[in-house]
Chain A
Amino acid sequence: MRRASHLREPAAIKALLTLVALAYVALMLLLPLGAVLSQAFADGWRGWLAAVTEPDARSAIRLTLLVAGISVPLNMIFGIAASWAISKYDFRGKSILITLIELPFSVSPVVSGLVFVLLFGAQGWFGGWLQQHDIEIIFALPGLVLATVFVTFPFVARQLIPLMTAQGRGDEEAALTLGASGWQTFWHVTLPNIRFGLLYGVLLCNARAMGEFGAVSVVSGHIRGETNTMPLHVEVLYNEYNFIAAFAVASLLALLAVVTLALKSALEWRYRAAIAARS
């Protein structure tokens, strides 16, 4: 349908607004992304390759993959359980529960790390007990995982709760009536219904888990080659004025961001209805 011409702005205004928006995004978003790449390859691809393959960088990459590999599945299981409980049943206090699940998004990353230091650090509530039993949480892998799980806590749940609420429980009830067990119903009915929404939530959860800086910075202790994830390794290199290496490792994280955005957009274009329930 053609829109009435009086419903549109004059062409000049339209062109002006579009150009301002494009210029602003180019300046604020594209330029920083370009800066990472140009600095990373300032010494050519050999310098880049040397920086991303030296032992400390390799161990940072391994640690980042390990932390995300533990944290993302944990939050995926939690996200599915929480959305199942919230969307398939009717109980009191649901909106409070949803608010509490989304709480970590409003907490500063630094505070998200600090809370685990207060619990498990040397001065923390359980610090003495942990020391006696020779268990390391802070300045070790468990602390990095806890802090990462905290900051990525809401991602999967908040994607699935509206989607599963909109889908209702009719499909599941039908499967049960036909004699399927609870788990069969979940695997063969619910999971296929939510797969794209789940994938979308996991994608965003993973990007944040691999890129988290503030929270892991507080619990890591910055032990080179041991407790430095990729973002922390970038900081160490940058503070040592080793800019080319810092930007080289940062370029890997920028690549992760670009791939995440591409997959996210592809999911949105192809499966918009299957990702998010539009009210």
Chain B
Amino acid sequence: MGMARTLIRNPSPLPGLGLSLGITIFWLSFIVLIPLSAVFIRSWGGGWDAFWAAAGTPRAIASYKLTFGAALGAAAVNALFGLLIAWVIVRYHFPGKRLFAALIDLPFALPTAVAGIALAALYADTGLIGAQLARLGLAVAYKPTGVVVALIFVGLPFVVRTVEPVLAEVSRETEEAALTLGASRWQTFARVIFPTIAPALATGFALAFARGAGEYGSVIFIAGNMPFESEIAPLLIVTQLEEYDFEGATAIAAVMLVVSFAILMVLNLLQHWQQRRSA
């Protein structure tokens, strides 16, 4: 009780703190914290050497390179087109804009397995897009490029949704001031608008990257899943689990979790940056 009192800064007359905080902490521990800690405890059981022997196999390293490389590439494409889409939604008016804006969230709502088989069907060399690409001598499906295409699909809404509200807040007065001072439209964008939305753009990029790095369902149907070539890290975890290689699966999962936590820290820093910008 004594400790509880010192933890609570400003006592509230509302009842239910004990119950609601109790449910929150119990459920959070049971569903999230204890299960996640199992990954670290299991993978650190044998010390660093045993951990790296499982997490640092050449096949695992090839899968990290593909996973994080494809996630970076897809996040970059999504940053570019996400900014364009957010700009068009915030600044322009055209018929069907509401429908267009609503459609952007489709990758959030469409189950990843559905997206996966749809993309595989489109980009296979008999598919609508794949056949055209094949004429140009390009293959996407069952190749590492297929992974990037799937990650572009799942990551598309993140940049749009983080940039949109910030772009809507950029004041017309600031832009007008820049123009009065003799800046061209492009200079206004590069020197005034872009720096204001940069933290949001970086946040969207990081969110898209994080989502892409962990993605599984939409990728496995369009990637060839060939070890060393087109096998993503989450798939390697599944494969090793199916082979009862728990040490290998857990060690790779620990690497993925460490990357997730690092991205979370970057996102927190970006949030501070954004708050400073808008303050």
Contact = CB atoms under 8 A, between A and B. Distances in A.
Interface in A102-159: 103-104, 106-111, 114-119, 123-125, 146, 149-150, 153
B273 to A, nearest CB: 16
A231 B87 contact: no
Given A103-B264, A106-B210, A125-B38, A231 B114 contact: yes
A263 to B, nearest CB: 10
A111 B110 contact: no
A172 B87 contact: no
B114 A254 contact: yes
A interface secondary structure, majority? helix
A110 B237 contact: yes
B35 A116 contact: yes
Interface in B228-279: 234-235, 237-238, 241, 244, 246, 249-250, 253, 256-257, 260-261, 263-264, 268
Contact of A7 (B31, B156, B179, B210): B179
Interface stretch (B54-62, B116-124, B194-202): B116-124
Q: Summarize B's interface: helix, strand, loop or mixed.
A: helix
Interface size class of A (residues with CB under 8 A): 35 or more
Contacts of B115: 32
A20 B87 CA distance: 12
B102 A253 contact: no
Contacts of B185: 6, 9
B84 A81 contact: no
Interface residues of B, number: 90
Interface string A55-87: 000000000000000000000011001101110
Contact of B21 (A85, A117, A247, A260): A85
A265 B111 contact: no
Contact of B14 (A3, A89, A114, A264): A89
A39 interface: yes
A6 B178 CA distance: 11
Contacts of B84: 17, 20-21, 24
A107 B104 CA distance: 23
A240 interface: no
A187 interface: no
B226 interface: no
Given A116-B35, A214-B112, A214-B216, A7 B249 contact: no
B7 interface: yes
A254 B102 CA distance: 15
Contact of B92 (A14, A246, A247): A14
Nearest to A149: B31
Interface stretch (A44-52, A93-101, A191-199): A93-101
Contacts of B156: 28-29
B213 interface: yes
Interface in B96-131: 98, 100-115, 117-119, 121-122, 127-129
> Which residue of A7, A89, A173 has the most chain B CB atoms within 10 A of its CB atom?
A89
Interface in B136-173: 152-153, 156, 172
B236 to A, nearest CB: 9
B113 A104 contact: no
A59 to B, nearest CB: 17
Interface string A183-218: 001100000000000000000100100111110011
A21 to B, nearest CB: 4
B105 A264 contact: yes
Interface in B13-67: 13-17, 19-21, 23-24, 27-28, 31-36, 38-39, 42
A210 B33 CA distance: 24
15 contacts: A22-B100, A35-B118, A35-B128, A81-B19, A89-B12, A91-B7, A100-B32, A107-B214, A108-B234, A110-B234, A111-B253, A114-B241, A182-B15, A213-B217, A264-B102
Q: Closest 7 interchain pairs by CB?
A: A211-B111, A108-B214, A115-B35, A213-B217, A214-B216, A182-B15, A257-B109
Given A82-B23, A99-B264, A101-B24, 17 more contacts: A9-B185, A28-B152, A81-B27, A86-B24, A88-B16, A89-B14, A89-B17, A91-B21, A93-B7, A109-B112, A110-B214, A111-B237, A114-B250, A213-B216, A234-B113, A250-B111, A261-B103
